[in-house]
Structure 1
Amino acid sequence: MDLAQAQALRNPAPGRLDTAGHAPVPAPRLRNPHPLPPPHHRRPRRGGPDPMTILHLALATDWEAAQTAGEYRVSTLGRTLEQEGFIHACADHTQLQGVIHRFYRDVGQALVLLTIDPAGLDVRMETPADSTETFPHIYQPLPLHAVVSATAFPLG
């Protein structure tokens, strides 16, 4: 018996009986009764930020300079990407509030909140030595096209 004959015995053509004289039983169809829609049809989680973005608080003057330069190279207050080795970011608004409380509450300059799409960027989730939280760090200059939005961020 060759391979084609063996397959015909296991899977007879529609309407034919198997070797025991029984009609073939179709294999059960496995499917998810609640499939996820394609990614472009999904809605962001209700009540929270888009889980696919990260946040960075910038001085408005630094952000304006980036518009001219074509990329953003400031790590944090008074420190460049070259000095720090990466650009600090927050995973969500809860982390951002902690960063504001620890580092930005006395800043007297205008601030801009950058919402960043990390796709295609060298972003590493790391826990600083003086923290228990894990933060996203961007290990490259931030291209302007990765910034989904830049909105004024008043303190207080």
Structure 2
Amino acid sequence: MNAPIYTLVRGDDWRAARTIGAYHGSADDMRDGFLHLSTAEQVRESARRHRSGERDLWLVAVDPAALGPALRWEPASGGRRPGLFPHLYGPLPMSAVLSEVPLPLGEDGLHVFPPEVP
């Protein structure tokens, strides 16, 4: 298995996804036409930029090998951030999910990540 990749999911969206067996993305994902994912090295910055201060946020670890050709590695939109980001062109099946953990907010207002995320 390759290193996990991650997506940040709002609580209501994640509970709905578990009920139907797949996550179809946030409003931002739907607008852009793909699910935004991040590597372990990218996910903290993604949380800071796009989910800052949000409560009831989940960190979902995904097995990239389970996603097949629907997973593409591409530059961030507009090239604003260096490197390639994993983008999923289709729903995220629960069978590809390795783990799911809540991301509480610390006293500093930043999300508290599990120790395995650098």
TM-score tier (shorter): 0.7 to 0.9
Runs of 4+ in 1 over 6 A off after TM superposition: none
Q: CA deviation at 1:80?
A: 4.2
After TM superposition, the score normalised by the length of structure 1 is 0.60
Higher strand residue share: 2
Which residue in the other structure is 1:123 paired with? 71
Map 1:54-93 onto structure 2 (within 5 A): 54-75=5-26, 78-81=27-30, 83-92=31-40
Corresponding letter in the other structure for 2:72: R
CA distance in 2, matches of 1:55, 1:120: 13
Which protein shows a greater Rg? 1
CA distance in 2, matches of 1:113, 1:71: 15
Contact 1:117 1:148 in 2 (8 A): yes
Q: CA deviation at 1:148?
A: 0.7
1:111-153 Cα distance to aligned partner (Å, 9 max, x none) = 1110001113121111122222311111110001100111111
Instruction: Provide the aligned C-alpha RMSD in A.
Output: 1.7
Map 1:1-156 onto structure 2 (within 5 A): 51-75=2-26, 78-81=27-30, 83-92=31-40, 94-107=41-54, 109-121=55-67, 122-128=70-76, 129=78, 130-156=80-106
Gaps of 5+ in 2: 107-118
Contact 1:67 1:144 in 2 (8 A): yes
